[in-house]
Amino acid sequence: MKNSGKTIVQLLFILFFLLGISGCSSKFTTIQTTPPEKYEKLGSVTGTASGSLGAVSTAYYVIPMGLNSRTDRAYKNALSKAPGATALIDVTYDESWFWWIVGTSRTVTISGEAIKEIKQ
């Protein structure tokens, strides 16, 4: 019986370890793509998006909440502010954060020149 208790503790430790490291992964995001050969400038735009990282205390912030997609969402938000825009050039990226007791909120701001591809 003593061995079964030790085995359960080991399995729980492994489970929590795997759960912890799997929550901390995301893919790379390309913010600015290569612009088309011919395009029309539509003006400067800015978009923002936020996400949070939270759980219990500062040493254990491991639960991402909308965190990994915030750059894509900020880019799409910026594009939506210029009707017909297909991409951004001269992109700048800014990130700010604040602590809200049980986690942190991180806000991404993407700014750039909206462009529309001119088809030949």
Q: What confidence tens digit (pLDDT) does each residue in 70-110 have?
A: 999 999 999 999 999 999 999 999 999 888 777 788 999 99
Q: pLDDT tens-digit profile of 37-46?
A: 999 999 999 9
Q: Answer whether 0.95 is exceeded by the pTM.
A: no
| Strand duo 87-99 + 63-65: pairing | unpaired
Q: Walk me through the domains of the chain, giving residue ranges and CATH numbers.
A: 28-117 (3.30.110)
Residue 83 is which amino acid?
A: P
Whether the Cβ atoms of residue 53 and residue 61 lie closer than 8 Å to each other:
yes
